[in-house]
Chain A
Amino acid sequence: MPERQPRLVMENIVKEFPGVRALSNVQLSLYPGEVHALMGENGAGKSTLIKVLTGVYSIDNGSVVLDGKTVHIKNPQDAQEKGISTVYQEVNLCTNLSVTENIFIGREIKKHGRLAWKEMHKRAEALLASLQLKIDVTKLLSSYSVAIQQMVAIARALNVSAQILILDEPTSSLDRDEVKQLFSVIRKLKKDGLAIVFVSHFLDQIYEITDRLTVLRNGEWIGEYMTEELDRVDLVSKMIGKELQELEAVTKNVSHESAERETFLTADQVGLKGKIHPFNFDLKKGEIVGFAGLLGSGRTEIARLLFGADKADQGTIKIKGEKLNFSSPRQAIVNNIGFCSEDRKAEGIIPELTVRENIILAIQSVNGWFRYISKTKQTKIADEYIELLNISPANPEQLIKNLSGGNQQKVMLARWLVTDPELLILDEPTRGIDIGAKTEIMKLMTELSQKNKAILFISSELEEILRTSHRIAVLRDRKKVSEYQNQKGLTQQELMKEMAGGM
């Protein structure tokens, strides 16, 4: 491949933000017809590099050479005109517009000065068909799943005759089949000669789909490798710059004799029409229960009912034997329950507030508006958890929106840890964050359970569930279908079969 002319060469890229050198002397080269992985931990500079490439940020130093010519990418439109398209981690589409509108927005097809809807619908259908997707393009985007929205985002990116396609965490909200589908699309695009940048935290996927990879760490360029020549252990140690033993330090929690433990929560035939079939469930102190299930299987819905984010329309929830059906999250929080939502952007962070304010928000709302925690005390709390969870940058006055995804996630954890909950519900806490942070979060869960806290752990990563949980509940089609004690013999295959059902 290297003997061909590269499509893009970025050299000595430097990007600074107030107080942070986000990129220092980073390079990246892309060839037509390759899938190139961009690897690194949270805060390594992947997102910044992508934003530089797509014209969102201007660079402070360095050069960008596109097809042999030095270019200056002024803004996102300019990047698109130069053939660089992006599908971002969080799908950035307008869900209240139709599929067609989303694909053509900003570059509508016109005939005689009027919008040519028929033509656009046809073209949208053809575009999606090339991605093996057949849907009604006149329907609102919000009526489709996240996976399909993702495909629409790709179709939109392709519509601008892209030369370079950047996929930032495209698989983080897709299930197995959908990932397969996406990969076949990627292979097709690769054959068509596109240069594809692929960002993902899933190592399996990196090895399955990419040809070469570039590793970044703390804003610095670590190296460029052929994917097949670099084994996983080396890759991971290059990314985190730590010894690998630490990764293995999370010991597997095999179910222990939990008979004498006090029950914290009991759900008896709790359900909500259209969301989740009535289920029974109990959770003991010091226990980690994993929820395994595909997207849309009802795992988030159960969590929301237990937390009072949605109100159950049947059944009873008991906390330590007392009947309590929460009608608001506040009541749940007052009863020592915490909930980290899977949708960090929409239901987690308060973007305009600082890290400090985000951390103390839940404990302050338990205290009520009148008993204000003094600024000094707030800073003390924030500093403590910044250190404990290794949040970077370690500045409590930084606005949270300026932090990387993994660090935002840690702030969310801090928000709940401050309230010292007896039950912590973690919905996909490890999604979209790097291995180092994942390990830290799993370690933390184990520590909490040793301190007699109950944890409900929802994850798409069966490996993580098997590693940490004492008990595992499997969900399928909005129903809780079975429950396992996590014993040595229990395998991912067994869980997967149960999740898929009908075997």
Chain B
Amino acid sequence: MGKSIMRSRLFWPIMVLILILLINLFFDSSFLSIEVRNGRLTGSIIDILNRGAPLMLISIGMTLVIATKGIDLSVGSVIAMSGAIGAMSVANAETDGLGPLFTAIALALVISTLVGGWNGLLVSRIGVQPIVATLILMVAGRGVAQLITGGQITTVYYDPYNFIGGGYLLALPFSVFIVAFVLLLAVLITRKTALGLFIESVGSNPDASRLAGINSKNIMLMVYLFSGFCAGVGGLILSSNVMSADGNNAGLWFELDAILAVVIGGTSLMGGRFYLMGTIIGALIIQSLTTTIYSIGVPAETNLVVKAVVVLIVCLLQSPEFRSKVFGTGKLKKTKEQKESEGVTLS
């Protein structure tokens, strides 16, 4: 039964994603085709996966934060910080060896995770409301990023840095592997251990969770740490894509896209149940929308409006109340009968 619910939760987001892809196909018959060029797979689908990588990453982190009834507004700024740290630390690299690359990655990720932990401490130990706590870092993080870059866009000429966001492995963009790895990590750690249960429990009722022996504070601390880490990885990919450090615009508005992706994926902002695969679909919907708007030649100014409309549609489709009103009550009745046939009775 759990699986069928899971399936139905993913059903509408997947339908919308397919619809968007079909619309693209209508305008561009080669949209779905994937070619091999220079040993690399290329095509619009690959593009969406590649460009959507940072959003998917921070959305994974955001999912767990939202599951604890929290929210992380700082991820966009952490992206800027992480990108700035990574890019600036290799900007003056004199060799083409890999030493500076690893230093840059380590530095960016450690600091991103630490600032995520700062959010976590404010929320779990001091009791600051998540939206306020992360708002502080949203402002401060971008400020720090601008300080690091001196308010300017600094170009990186150190080639290995390009591999993170622009490199290829086994004919696929390397960023796709990064996303797959982080997603796998998140799924394993939440579903193959009790962590997922604890996160959902804390999000649903923190007081009762504490009395059941769960260390709610540490759970909260952990999800913000992880969210910071995800944003750090996303920041590296973004700055590596453009081979520059941009404290002003990197990761701008990403937090909102991530929250949207999580909501589209079926995770409630009220905390509790979370759906990582739903989130990934949500992020892909948002990314393919952006790609679509550019590729079918709609003026770029309409991007935000179209995005909002699509998100609205997905949210409406996910609401059982809306579905029963628009499509009639037939569907609800059917599931009722189905469940009845499973033989659950009151007595």
Residues of B contacting A349 with CB < 8 Å?
Answer: 205, 208
B195 contacts which chain A residues (CB < 8 A)?
Answer: 369
* Distance to closest chain B CB from A51 (angstroms): 16
A397 to B1, CA, bound (A): 8
B335 interface hit (Cβ, 8 Å):
yes
Q: CB < 8 Å: which of A218, A373, A395 contacts B347? A: A218
Distance in angstroms from B343 CB to nearest chain A CB is 8
**Which residues in chain A, 355-403, are within 8 Å of chain B measured between CB atoms?**
357, 361-362, 364-373, 392-395, 397-398
B205–A19 contact, CB under 8 A? no
Docked pose: A367 CA to B197 CA in angstroms: 13
Query: Given A361-B214, A365-B214, A372-B194, is A20 in contact with B345 using a C-beta cutoff of 8 Å?
Result: yes
For the complex formed, measure the closest distance between the CB of B134 and the CB atoms of chain A, giving whole angstroms.
Answer: 23
B300 at the interface (CB under 8 A from A): no
Q: Which residues of A contact B200 (CB under 8 A)?
A: 350, 352-353, 357
Bound complex: CA A55 to CA B335 (Å): 23
Which of A74-82, A123-131, A339-347 has 4 or more CB atoms under 8 Å from chain B? A339-347
CB of A330 to closest CB in B, whole Å: 4
Q: Which residue of A lies closest to B1 (CB)?
A: A397
Distance, CA A244 to CA B1, complexed state (A): 39
In the complex, what residues of A have CB within 8 A of residue B345's CB?
19-21, 393
Interface check A40, CB cutoff 8 A: no
Q: Is the CB of B194 within 8 A of A373?
A: yes
Q: Which residues of A contact B2 (CB under 8 A)?
A: 397
> CB-CB < 8 A to A415: which residues of B?
212
Q: Do A329 and B210 contact each other (CB < 8 Å), given the known contacts A350-B204, A372-B192, A393-B345? A: yes
A-side interface mostly = loop
A362 and B212: CB pair below 8 A?
yes
A16 at the interface (CB under 8 A from B): yes
Are B346 and A21 in contact, with the CB atoms below 8 A? yes
Inter-chain CA distance A219–B207, complex, in Å, is 33
Q: A347-B207, A347-B208, A367-B194 are in contact. Are A353 and B201 (CB under 8 A)?
A: yes
Q: Which residues of A contact B208 (CB under 8 A)?
A: 341, 346-350
What is the distance, in angstroms, from B209's C-beta to the closest C-beta of chain A? 7
Question: When chains A and B are docked, how far (Å) is the Cα of A136 from the Cα of B279?
Answer: 50
Q: Which residue of B lies closest to A401 (CB)?
A: B204
Known: A350-B204, A350-B205, A392-B347. A361 touches B339 (CB 8 A): no
- Report how far A476 CA is from B310 CA in the complex, Å: 62
Task: Please state if B207 and A350 are interface contacts (CB–CB under 8 Å).
Answer: no
Q: Which residues of B contact A350 (CB under 8 A)?
A: 200-201, 204-205, 208-209, 212
Count of chain B residues with a beta carbon within 8 Å of a chain A beta carbon: 34
Q: How far is the CA of A334 from the CA of B213 in the complex (A)?
A: 9
Question: Using Cβ atoms and an 8 Å threshold, which residues of chain B touch A307?
Answer: 211
In contact, A357 and B211 (Cβ under 8 angstroms): no
Q: Are A219 and B194 in contact (CB under 8 A)?
A: no
Is B211 touching A395 in the complex (CB atoms < 8 A)?
no
**Tally of A-B Cβ pairs under 8 angstroms:** 115
Say how far A220's CB is from chain B's closest CB, in angstroms.
10
Q: Which residue of B lies closest to A404 (CB)?
A: B346
Contacts of A18 in B (CB 8 A): 335-336, 339-340
Expressed in whole angstroms, the minimum distance between the Cβ of A408 and any Cβ of chain B is 11
A12-47 contacts to B (CB < 8 Å): 16, 18-22, 43
- In the bound complex, CA of A370 to CA of B200 (Å): 16
Which of A20, A22, A364, A392 contacts B194 (CB under 8 A)?
A364
Whether, in the assembled complex, B302 has its beta carbon less than 8 Å from a beta carbon of chain A, the answer is: no
A202-223 vs B, Cβ < 8 Å mask (1 yes, 0 no): 0000000000000000110000
Whether the pair A370, B193 counts as a contact (CB closer than 8 A) is yes
A417 on the B face (CB < 8 A): no
Checking A219, A352, A361, A372 against B212 with a beta-carbon cut-off of 8 angstroms, the contacting residue is A361
A22: chain B residues within 8 A (beta carbon):
346
User: Is A361 a contact partner of B201 (Cβ separation < 8 A)?
Assistant: yes
User: Is the CB–CB distance between A218 and B346 below 8 Å?
Assistant: yes
Give bound CA distance, A114 to B201, whole Å. Answer: 43
Known: A19-B339, A20-B346. A341 touches B197 (CB 8 A): no
Interface residues of B in 189-223 (CB under 8 A from A): 192-195, 197-198, 200-201, 203-205, 207-215
Asked if B142 is at the interface of the complex by the 8 Å CB criterion, the answer is: no
A95 lies within 8 A of chain B by Cβ: no
* A484→B2 CA distance, assembly (Å): 51
8 Å CB interface, A445-466 against B: none
Asked whether, in the complex, the Cβ of B197 is within 8 Å of the Cβ of A330, the reply is no
Q: Is B344 an interface residue (CB 8 A)?
A: yes
Within 8 Å CB of B213, what residues of A?
A: 329-330, 333-334, 361-362, 365-366
What is the chain A residue whose CB lies nearest that of B344? A19
Contacts of B207 in A (CB 8 A): 346-347
* Contact A351 to B342, CB < 8 A, known contacts A330-B213, A339-B211, A370-B193: no
Greatest chain A CB density within 10 A among B1, B340, B344 is at B344
Measured CB to CB, the nearest residue on chain B to A362 is B212
Complex Cα distance, B209 from A309, in Å, reads 12
Within 8 A of A (CB), among B262-297: 271-273
Contact between B197 and A395, CB atoms less than 8 A apart = no
Assembled-state Cα–Cα distance A330/B336 (Å)? 40
Question: Residues of A contacting B340 with CB < 8 Å?
Answer: 18-19
Q: List 30 A-B contacts (CB under 8 A).
A: A18-B335, A18-B336, A19-B339, A19-B342, A19-B344, A21-B345, A22-B346, A218-B347, A330-B214, A341-B211, A350-B200, A350-B201, A350-B212, A351-B205, A351-B272, A352-B205, A352-B272, A361-B209, A364-B194, A364-B197, A364-B198, A365-B212, A365-B213, A365-B214, A368-B194, A372-B192, A373-B194, A393-B346, A394-B344, A415-B212
- Knowing that A18-B335, A18-B336, A348-B208 are A-B contacts, what are 14 other residue pairs whose CB atoms are under 8 Å apart, sorted by A's residue number? A19-B340, A19-B345, A21-B345, A307-B211, A330-B214, A346-B205, A352-B204, A357-B201, A361-B213, A362-B213, A364-B197, A366-B213, A369-B198, A393-B345
Closest 10 CB pairs of A and B: A352-B272, A19-B344, A365-B213, A352-B204, A333-B213, A18-B339, A330-B213, A19-B339, A369-B194, A361-B212
